[in-house]
Amino acid sequence: MLPMKAYMKRNWLAAIAMILFVLLGLTIRLGYLMLHKSETYAEMAQDVWQRERTIKAARGRIYDRNGVVLATNQSVCTVSVIHNQIKEPEKVIRVLADTLHMTEEAVRKRVEKHSSIERIKANVDKETGDYLKAQKLAGVVVDEDYRRTYPIGDLASRVIGFTGGDNQGIIGLEVMYDDILGGKNGTILTTTTAHGLNIDGAAEGRVEPVAGLDLYTSLDYNIQLYCKQAAQTCLEATGAKTVSIVMMNPQNGEILAMTTLPEFDANKPFVPIESLLYRLDENGEKQPYEWNRLSESEKTEFLNGMWRNPLISDTYEPGSTFKIVTSTAAFEAGVLEVTDRFHCPGHYVVEDRIIHCHKRTGHGSEDFKQGIMNSCNPVFMQIAERTGAEKTYETYRKLGLFQRTGVDLPGEANSIMHKLEDIGPVELATMSFGQSFQITPLQLLTAAACVVNGGTRITPHLGVSAMNAETGEITELAYARAEECVSAGTSELMRELLHAVVAEGTGKRAYLEGYTIGGKTATSQKLPRSARKYIASFLGFAPAENPQVMALVLIDEPVGVYYGGTIAAPVIKEVFATALPYLGIEKQETEEDN
């Protein structure tokens, strides 16, 4: 047993060693914090004594091809409160509630909330914001902000789109070009005490916002207006569910106009279109209903449908306008001559199926030119037989019908086609006149443009260039092209045949004195066939010998007469009557005028 003195000495040494060990550990820890974690703790300290507020960047404007403003900004304010800086809470609550037209209860919840900064209301008009600034209420902050506005209201609203409360794009060009239009927000850094109070005399740090770039588009305000007026007249005359029109330059893919009526007001995108507020009862009859009785999920579903652009997001059976593609495939395969003769008794037998022509009594003997002018189904079923499924699909691929067009709008759908191995005689026959598969209207327009423009597949688009308004620097936007998808000879021949359709055939209601118009009619029966609902359409272009404009109109579920040649062709005539002179396409004396 150790003597007491030796025992105590050992304990003292152990205690000293323990103390030294702890001190060493603390020294190492302090060194680690000072050397390796200094930046982290400096940032944490900065968060305590600095308050950051965002300065919103001005969103880039959107213009039409002639400089007409389609979307711009309005100066507004965002009103916030800083809890620790409020000296007279009851006065702040009363003034804010009265000035911002809010309940005192709603304002009180925000004012009494313990947070570094609490937003009371955004999109406050500048006059009101300036008034609140003048009151000099401690703890009340008024920051400048921007609200997106659309001077043209409901014109092209599905195309241009709109932004949300954070000024980010929701649909249309606004969301597709959000990175270009959005800009970069700035910040204000305010130095505060540990209690969140501003330090007198401390300078504010400020990072200026960078405004977004302006977007120049191919849309033409006047042509868009012409199309809307023609669609409105048609909508009222036919009682249709919707009327859609898209006009494009078939040489380069620039979209001049795109509309589907009825349209919503982009300044009030959450206000429902009243004419669309209905349900179909068990008899298929429209029964109106009240917006306020809908559940939140039903309201969301309705709004998404209202904002939807059917010209790019919906597919349909194109019907006889697709005979443009069937003809092209046969000519490209070398199995068809214009002088080839056919016989139409009013139907054509394919395996065990009797497939009727739209003219049940038949067209009798006719050559191919007469067949396309008459839009005769038996003629097209026969030329599809000659072409075969593989050659037919080869042309589809060249015309881009198995892929999205690449249009610069969100939500584009793709075609719904048979697999090649599943195409039998009946499928091939029905495909020849635009049934048993589905494409988008824009896919049809793009394919037809390739057929008549000399054989170049273009990318339909709206964006033309982006410009920095401060520096004037311009960035041109480029789009893919595919050359020689159709031979020049076939393209020229198709232009002549489609001109004959308007001059002498089913499209004669699109004839316009002084102009050579080419085109094709269609009457598509919607699924299920038993519902007996139709889409009447017409695809037209001018001048026929050198197309500069191409347009497609779709009349969805017209009441009464539903034939494309009867009700759709005149719509294109009306649009072309104003658009062609406006575009500087001069009248010429044509053979039809003599």
Domain boundaries defined on the chain: 51-85+94-103+110-194+205-217, 316-593
Measured distance CA(156)–CA(178) in Å, rounded: 18
Using the structure block, give the residue that is written with the tokens 């699924």: 527
Helix (H) or strand (E) holding 574: helix 569-582
Looking at CATH, the fold of the domain delimited by 51-85+94-103+110-194+205-217 is given as Penicillin-binding protein 2a (Domain 2) (3.90.1310)
Distance CA 320, CA 357 (A): 11
CATH topology of domain 316-593: Beta-lactamase (3.40.710)
Catalytic residue, chosen from 80, 157, 218, 320, is 320
Residuewise pLDDT in 10s, the chain (594 residues): 556 666 566 677 777 777 877 777 777 777 666 666 666 555 544 444 455 667 788 899 999 999 999 999 998 888 998 888 888 889 989 999 999 999 989 989 998 888 778 888 888 888 999 999 899 888 898 888 888 999 999 999 999 999 987 789 999 999 999 999 998 888 766 655 444 444 444 445 677 888 899 999 999 999 999 999 999 999 999 999 999 999 999 999 999 999 999 999 999 999 999 888 887 777 767 788 889 889 999 999 999 999 999 999 999 999 999 999 999 999 999 999 999 999 999 999 999 999 999 999 999 999 999 999 999 999 999 999 999 999 999 999 999 999 999 999 999 999 999 999 999 999 999 999 999 999 999 999 999 999 999 999 999 999 999 999 989 999 999 999 999 999 999 999 999 999 999 999 999 999 999 999 999 999 999 988 888 899 999 999 999 999 999 999 999 999 999 999 999 999 999 999 999 999 999 998 766 555
Give the length of the chain: 594
85-121 burial code (b ≥16 CB/10 A, e <16): bbeeeeebbebbbebeebeeeebbebbeeeeebbebb
Whether pTM exceeds 0.95: no
Distances (CA, A) of 56 to 170, 205, 212, 250, 375: 18, 16, 11, 40, 58
- CA distance linking residue 170 with residue 307, whole number of Å: 10
d(CA 569, CA 564): 6
The Cα 394–Cα 329 span in angstroms is 8
Distance of alpha carbon 429 from alpha carbon 418, whole angstroms: 13
CB atoms within 10 A of CB 209: 18
From the CA atom positions of the chain, what is the Rg in Å?
34
Cβ atoms within 10 Å of 205's Cβ, excluding its own: 12
Using the CB atoms, write b or e for 423-459: b if 16+ within 10 Å.
beeebbbbbbbbbbbbbbbbbbbbbbbbbbbbbbbbb
Task: Examine the residue annotation and report whether 320 is marked as an active-site residue of this protein.
Answer: yes
In one-letter notation, the amino acid at residue 238 is: T
